[in-house]
Structures are given as structure tokens and as C-alpha cells.
A = this chain, B = another copy of it.
Amino acid sequence: MNFASDNVYGVDPRILQAMVDANSRLTDVSYCHDDGSREVEARLSQIFEKDVKAFLVVNGTGANSLALSAICPTFGGVFCHEMSHINTDECNCPELFMGGGKLITMPGKDAKLTPAVFAEKLSQFGHGEHGAKPCALSITSATELGTVYTPAEIKALADVAKPRGMKVHMDGARFANALVSLGCTPAEMTWKAGVDVLSFGGTKNGGMILEAVVFFDTALAEDFLYRRKRTGQLVSKGRFLSAQMLAYLQDDVWLPNARRANTLAQTLAKGMQASNRVRLTTPVEANEIFAIMPRKLFDALQAKGANFYDWPWDGLADDEVHCRFVVSFATPAEHVDRFLQLIRETA
């Protein structure tokens, strides 16, 4: 019973098979100039209903940091949620790849920003060159608390950013989970709502190394080949990345995988609530659950082999623990059942 992270699970067998198949070609063009990489761009253009520029990279941290480097100069500022992955879990990599660009953080319920808070924060940047130049907004969907921005919410934020000449980035490490949760099109969730560049993540949803930076504003992609190389995010045997992405982007892989994880998360969340011993702190809109339980229960569950993290939360009682549960494309349904059974048994 491992609900610690979607990263602890392996690779979707169909994606793995595609990598094995890719090896059947004796040789292929290296450094992501292979035909497969071009097909990836074409397929993503089709999915997003727009001619995009897409670049395969190595991981989510690289995708985010590179995307930001393309929209925020060294003297710029990127506005983001204080809980955002770029701020808390990428150990200064965004700042490094931007060459010193600054993350400017804001609070917000359910790990989401609001136009009001964003506008207020922006208003503090009126003293010219003494503060960072406001250059970009970065939002995450699904967020770090497993919630999802609606297209309307994204547009409302973009409407604050765009008149100031700022660009909008979306960290889509769990893009598919957000998408199937919303039931909208990929285009509606991104460029139609004002997103200029997307970190399109597939690793958590079945890939091995499966991340792309996708530019809707393709002018921003100029020189991105240099950016990717100079940050060490270019892989020599690129066919193994493009093979993964092409296998992933089949309709019966990426979307069903995400749907499955989201559905199972709902089952888990409802089961926990039904136990009356766990209370959710955050709406469950994708494949993550955040909830408070008694410390005794936490300890008992861990002792019995359930693996999940405690997670910081304000205003906890001393005998409570706030926890994160992640359900992945590959989490066995019976693990959810067994876990709920365990809660019931742990009186």
C-alpha cells in the first residue's frame, strides 16, 4: 500500500514496450533530432489544436525551469503560489536556469492563486528597477494540493498578467489528471485561457522519463534548442524519449491512465471520510488527497505497512497529522480497499 508518490510506481507496459521497439532500429539520429521527436510535436499540435513547438526534456524540474527561462530574464520576477513545486521542491533550479530570475510567492486557498491576491502583489512592484521586473505568472494544474484550475480561473489570472506584458506558464506535471477532471479540451485548459508555455508531464502518469516543454506562443521557443542543451536537459539517444511520448499520447493511454487514478482517488477519499476518523482539508479534484487524521491512526497505519507522507498544515492539534495520499495510474484497486479496511480495523 504505497500512496507516497506517483513516482514510486514503474512504467506503463505499453510505454516500456515502445522503448524496446525503438531499440530495434540499429541506428537513429541522435540528440532529439529524430523523426520521433518531430512526430511528438505534430501529435501535440493535434491534441492542442494549434501549431505548437514541443521539446522533450529530462524531468519536471527541467521542464519548469527551462520554460521559465524562456519567459523571464535574469532581472525578472515570476509570480507563483508559495506552495508551488518550483518554489518548494526544485532546489533553486528555476533560479539557476533563469540566471537569477526571482520567484515571488503568494498565498492562496487550496494551493490556488486568485486574481485579487495576484493583482495586490503586483501593485508592490511599482518602484522601477529596485525590484524584479514582473515578467511571468506560473500556475500549477493539478495543483500541489491536488486541486484544479478551471479555464475561467486561468483566464482571470491571465487577464491580470497579460496587460502588463507578462507571460503565463503552467506546470502540468499532472496535466492529464487535471484535464480529465475538468472534462474540457487541452486547448481550453491552456492557450485558450491564456497559457503561453506548458510543462507537459507524463512521468507521473506512466512514463519513465517523459516530459516536454510545449510553447503555444511559438516565438518564445526561439533559441530553445540552445537553452535545452546548455542546461543539460538534452538526451543523446532521443529516440527513447520520443518513443515514450508517442506511446503515451495515444488516446487509450494517457487519458484512461489519468481517469483511473482520479477515480481511485475518489474511492479512497470517500472511504476515508466514511470512516469518520479522517477529514479532508482540500477538495479532491485529481489524484491526490489531503486529510487530517489522529496521530494514533497515522502511526498504526504506517506500522501496518501503509506508506504515505505527513504534510505541513497550519492549525493542527497536537494529536493530529495532516497527510498526503497519491494514487497513480498503477495503484492496485485492492490496495485502496485494503487500506480502507485497515482504517476500519484500527479502532
A interface residues (Cβ-Cβ under 8 A, vs B): 2, 5, 7-11, 13, 16, 19-20, 22-31, 58-62, 65, 69, 73-77, 88-93, 95-97, 99-103, 105, 123-124, 127-133, 203-204, 208-209, 223, 225-237, 239-240, 312, 330, 332
> What B residues does A11 contact at CB under 8 A?
23, 237, 240
Q: Are A91 and B129 in contact (CB under 8 A)?
A: yes
Q: Are B93 and A95 in contact (CB under 8 A)?
A: no
Give the Cβ gap from A26 to chain B, nearest Cβ, in Å. Answer: 7
- C-alpha gap A129/B234 in the complex (Å): 10
Q: Are B10 and A26 in contact (CB under 8 A)?
A: yes
Give the Cβ gap from A75 to chain B, nearest Cβ, in Å. Answer: 4
Given contacts A23-B13, A74-B230, A75-B229, contact A236 B7 (CB under 8 A): yes
Most chain B CB atoms below 10 A, which of A29, A74, A223: A74
Q: Are B92 and A74 in contact (CB under 8 A)?
A: yes
- C-alpha gap A126/B19 in the complex (Å): 31
Q: Are B88 and A74 in contact (CB under 8 A)?
A: no
Partner of A230, one of B10, B93, B226, B237: B93
- C-alpha gap A93/B61 in the complex (Å): 16
Q: Are A232 and B93 in contact (CB under 8 A)?
A: yes
Q: Are B7 and A25 in contact (CB under 8 A)?
A: no
- C-alpha gap A247/B295 in the complex (Å): 43
Given contacts A61-B232, A92-B102, A230-B96, contact A330 B26 (CB under 8 A): yes
Q: Are A92 and B237 in contact (CB under 8 A)?
A: no
Give the Cβ gap from A95 to chain B, nearest Cβ, in Å. Answer: 5
Q: Are B95 and A59 in contact (CB under 8 A)?
A: no
Give the Cβ gap from A290 to chain B, nearest Cβ, in Å. Answer: 16
Look across to chain B and name the residue whose beta carbon is closest to the beta carbon of A307.
B27
Q: Which 9 A-B pairs have the closest CB atoms?
A: A99-B99, A62-B232, A75-B226, A7-B30, A91-B230, A129-B229, A129-B225, A7-B236, A8-B27
